[in-house]
Structure 1
């Protein structure tokens, strides 16, 4: 029995390391190719509660969902290991952090550059002020959600990081006047 549980544990560890290494290679891109993880009603309640407040202590989360704290800890750990929970993040108000200007920049790539879309997405995601990068199907290849302290910095970002890139065919910058975060469920 011990060898069965240790081999199961090793299999889970190997699988979670594989999930992490793929996620690190291209965050947000390769994940979609994975099969959905089987989730039950308790898992969905856990996800909804964590999406509302990821800082909730385990015992309070367990009580909210109606399960034992040890079960809660095990289930949250499994959701993380399986890649369902990708991380826990602070929801920073860009304006209060000195970057009140937000924009979504639509980017269309040149034909030959399309073979490098995942690499370009990773490059964009590492740039200062970039909140999200969306790889799209349709007229544009990317939407890039950015913050900036002012229009001069936004203009500089577009010119230096997008327009100067020979693989970029077109950019359209759309200012965001208001942003309201939706709920998970």
Structure 2
């Protein structure tokens, strides 16, 4: 993947979208940055086309949907099989996110939801059947996100 050079406007657009993509319009960003809305729209389209912006995702409160258990399952996959096993893990019912980690132990992190312990046991068993060794499971209480602060200050630095 080619690295795309970001200028101050690109970085500020990314910061704004990370902070609140759903409630931010091109006009809002344009007014804040003193550029036209069409410039902002064109930049966003280019960032999407270049793979810098890979998507827009809903932040779901799983507890509000009846899934009281939100868990992080730490797994280990053989290095040559890590990518394939992580992709397969994403297809397990109840799995909502899978991350590949660049270490030998605990190199696949699986976030899963369930309504009860039986759901989580089933998910663990299915991950095991895929060839992932489950080494730890932790219930997640809350998740906190923040946009990357260097994108916010990009216009101030230049």
> C-alpha deviations, 1:28-71, integer Å up to 9, x for none?
xxxxxx23210011111100111111122221222123210111
CA distance in 2, matches of 1:115, 1:163: 17
Q: Offset at 1:175?
A: 1.5
Aligned to 1:134: 99
CA distance in 2, matches of 1:147, 1:76: 32
Counterpart among 55, 62, 67 of residue 87 in structure 1: 55
Runs of 5+ unmatched residues, structure 2: 150-158
Where do 1:89-108 residues align within 5 Å?
A: 89-108=57-76
The answer to whether the Cα contact below 8 Å between 1:162 and 1:171 also exists between their aligned partners in 2 is no
TM-score by length of 1: 0.72
CA distance in 2, matches of 1:183, 1:149: 30
The answer to whether the Cα contact below 8 Å between 2:85 and 2:132 also exists between their aligned partners in 1 is no
Residues 83, 126 of structure 1: alpha-carbon distance in 2 compared, 3 angstrom cutoff:
same
The answer to whether the Cα contact below 8 Å between 2:89 and 2:98 also exists between their aligned partners in 1 is yes
Runs of 5+ unmatched residues, structure 1: 1-33
Aligned to 2:43: 75
**Whose RCO is larger (CA < 8 A, sep 6+)?**
2
TM-score by length of 2: 0.83
**Count of residues paired in the alignment:** 147
> C-alpha deviations, 1:61-115, integer Å up to 9, x for none?
2212321011111101000000000011111111112212111111113x5xx42
Where do 1:14-33 residues align within 5 Å?
A: none
